[in-house]
Amino acid sequence: MNISSAISKGSKILERNLIPNSQLDSEILMAQTINKDRKYILLNLEKKINKENLNNFEKLIKKRSNKKPIAYLTNKKYFWNSEFYVTEDTLIPRPDTELIVKNVLSLTKQKSK
C-alpha cells in the first residue's frame, strides 16, 4: 500500500467516527509513523509503506478514532512558537491560552518594571 492509500483509508475511518479534520489528522499520524514531516508525506504520496509502519499507522488511527488527542499520539504540541513534549500526564496547551499570553504581554509592555 502507498502513503496516499493509507492516508485516505485512515481519513475515512476518522470521518466515520466523527473526528474533525480527519484528512489532516491522518496525514499527521502518517508523518509520525514514518518519522517524517507533513511536507515529505505530501510530496511522496506514491511511496510504498512497509507492513510494520502500516500496522503502527492503523493503531494510531484506531486511538484517534476513540477521540485520543493528536498531541498525545505524537507527543508534541506547538505553543507560542515553541514545540513542547506532551504526554497523557500533561495538559495540552490550547489556542485560547496563546491569546491570553499575547494580551498579557501587550498590557505589560506598556508598564515599567
Query: pTM of the prediction?
Result: 0.82
Angle at 68 between CA 98 and CA 41, to 5 degrees: 80
Q: 10 falls in which pLDDT band (50, 70, 90)?
A: very high
The residues facing 83 across adjacent strands are: 78
pLDDT at position 112 is: 63
Do 30 and 57 contact (CB within 8 A), yes or no? Answer: yes
